[in-house]
Structure 1
Amino acid sequence: MKVGLFIPCYINQLYPQVGKATLELLEKLKVEVVYPSGQTCCGQPMANSGFENESEGACINFVNNFKDFDYIVTPSGSCAYHVKKHYNIIQQTDEVVKVRKNVYELCDFIVNVLKVKQLGASFPYKVGVHKSCHGLRGLRLGSSSELVTAPYSYIEALLKEVKGIELMTLDRSDECCGFGGTFAVTEDVVSAKMGKDKIQDHLRNGVEVITATDVSCLMHLEGLITRNKQPLQVRHIAEILNSTIESKVAHPKGQKH
């Protein structure tokens, strides 16, 4: 199995530790990982802003960089969803169809392709899971409250195997955080209010660390948490699944991002 690692723009620029944790985690699982150096944005921001046709170049570049891999794995549910569902704007060659079929969000890949749940991680904190919209309702990484179906969550299935972790139950577990891509810029007041409500849900239920499959959501929440000086930390799920913390320190991994 040969895996191409796709690291989204904002992780590359602002949260490189998430990319490193993803790589280390996959290598622990004995996966051959390659990072194509020619990769750029998947095109999602332009599509979110109503300029989907302007993103054709980014889409084609993505396919050219990842067409030769068995799987493409990314620590971003929204980027994986964008490739799967929105690359219909370019010609559907065999290479495009293959890439769209074989791109996976990290947790989805670990649970449903590698079929592994126990990763040997330890993280002794009270953790609240933020179920990002693209991952939840787009990729179906878990069951959503509006559907009558047996409850499941690939994210929580992995986290439950982490030593020392305590998963906290939220009042509104699958509510949007308000980020919504460029929505956070064009509708900043509404976006901030949604984020504040989401943070209060975590605080109300004793959460110490918020995790998610999308750094974009965590970045939005972290900005509000930092501005309002609230006692919460954020960690991408790759960082937790790759963690070996045995006892609590002042901040997870000894640093505040």
Structure 2
Amino acid sequence: MRIAFFATCLADTLFPEAAKATVRLLERLGHEVVFPFEQTCCGQMHINTGYQKEALPLIRRYAKTFDPYDVIVVPSGSCAGSIRHQHAMVATRHGDAGLAGRSTSVAARTYELSELLIDVLEVEDVGAYYPHRVTYHPTCHSLRMTRVGDKPLRLLRRVRGLELVELPAAEQCCGFGGTFALKNADTSTAMLADKMDNVVSTGAEVCTAGDTSCLMHIGGGLSRNNTGIRTIHLAEILASTEAS
């Protein structure tokens, strides 16, 4: 299968290993991965902070860039959620019916990574090997917008050598929420403290998730507290093999 890859801003600028792992994983499974160089931001941060009109050029670019492809993968529940639930809405609100229709069409072909693997490629065992004790944080957007459910957990359970431990109060937000962490720092810090306590209680070596934004927030706290627990994107675990 030919799959177009939307890397996302955070992966591109701060967490390139998550993007590279996504490509390695899909190529190992026998698929061709295409990276359209015209891609930029999905516009989520503009939309969520009230700058919807300013997001329109980004929405147009996403629709134009990815319209030629039948399948698009995004290693982020947050960005996938924005593409699927916000792009057409914003276009409609600003009177661009053509863009709304095009955005709806492209959004229907856009999948978060675990969705792509299980729902489209119909694979749960991706041949991964990762001999570590791991806990999984289900991010808010993956739970409530893309609704990936237990798909990441199903993939992790098939990774050889991996010991998966349940995260207490897993569905509680980590406190990041984009600019929420900046505008409501005290509340965000309190939410992060609860999340870190739950992660530490598992005795895990690694905390994983499908969004680098949440991992950045949680990982920063775990590092500052010298817990010794690492954060790593789901794609990096699934791309790992005994050879690597």
- For Structure 1 versus Structure 2, the TM-score category normalised by the shorter chain is over 0.9
Q: 1:121: how far off?
A: 0.5
Within 2, Cα distance between the matches of 1:14 and 1:2? 26
Distance 2:236 2:24 in 1: 10
Q: Normalising by structure 2, what TM-score?
A: 0.94
Determine the structure 1 residue equivalent to 2:236. 239
Structure 2: where are the runs of 5+ without partners? Answer: none
CA distance in 1, matches of 2:84, 2:104: 9
**Which secondary structure state, in structure 1, belongs to the residue aligned with residue 208 of structure 2?**
strand
Secondary structure of the 1:167 match is: strand
Aligned partners of 2:86 and 2:70: how far apart in 1?
20
| Aligned partner of residue 73 in structure 1, secondary structure | strand
3-state SS of 1:244 partner: coil
- Classify the secondary structure of the residue corresponding to 1:229: coil
Q: 1:71 deviation in Å?
A: 1.1
Residue 2 of structure 1: CA displacement? Answer: 2.4
In structure 2, relative to structure 1, the CA distance for the partners of 1:164 and 1:22 (3 Å cut) is: same
| Aligned pairs for 1:125-164 within 5 A | 125-142=132-149, 153-164=150-161
Q: Among the aligned pairs, what percent are the same residue? A: 40
C-alpha distance after superposition, 1:137-166 (max 9, x if no partner): 111111xxxxxxxxxx00000000000111
Q: CA-to-partner distance for each residue in 1:54-109, whole Å, 9 max, x for gaps?
A: 20011001111100000110100000000000012123435322211111100111
What amino acid maps onto 2:213 in structure 1?
Answer: S
Q: How does 1:161-200 map to 2 (within 5 A)?
A: 161-200=158-197
Q: Distance in 2 between matches of 1:81 and 1:172?
A: 22
1:234 & 1:84 partners in 2: Cα distance?
27
Q: Which moved more, 1:173-182 or 1:91-100?
A: 91-100
The answer to which of 184-193 and 34-43 deviates more is: 184-193
Match of 1:5 in 2: 5
Aligned length: 237
Deviation at 1:189? 1.6
- What letter is aligned with 2:212? V
Q: In the TM superposition, what is the alpha-carbon distance from 1:245 to its structure 2 partner? A: 4.6
Residue 75 of structure 2 aligns with which residue? 75
Partner Cα distance (2:237, 2:58) in 1: 31
The answer to whether residue 36 in structure 2 is matched with residue 36 in structure 1 is: yes
- Tell me, yes or no, if structure 1 residue 102 matches structure 2 residue 112: no
**Does the 8 Å contact 2:137/2:167 carry over to 1?**
no
* Pairing 1:15-26 to 2, within 5 Å after superposition: 15-26=15-26
Tell me if structure 2 keeps the 8 A contact 1:124–1:245: no
Q: Is 1:89 paired with 2:90? A: yes
CA drift of 1:182 comes to 1.1
Name stretches of at least 5 consecutive residues in structure 1 with no aligned partner: 143-152, 247-252
Structure 2 letter corresponding to 1:177: C
Residue in structure 1 matched with residue 126 of structure 2 by the alignment: 119
* Corresponding position of 1:249: none
Counterpart code for 1:206: G
The answer for the alignment partner of 1:45 in structure 2 is: 45
Q: What TM-score, normalized by structure 1, do the two folds share?
A: 0.89
Q: CA deviation at 1:53?
A: 2.1
CA distance in 1 between partners of 2:23 and 2:202 (Å) = 32
SS at match of 2:36: coil
Give every structure 1 segment of 4 or more consecutive aligned residues whose post-TM-superposition deviation is greater than 6 Å: none
Over the residues paired in the alignment, what is the CA RMSD in angstroms?
1.3
Partner of 2:58: 58
Equivalents in 1 of 2:185, 2:29: separation in Å? Answer: 40
Q: Deviations over 1:21-73 (max 9, x none)?
A: 00111111222211010110000011121112220011001111100000110
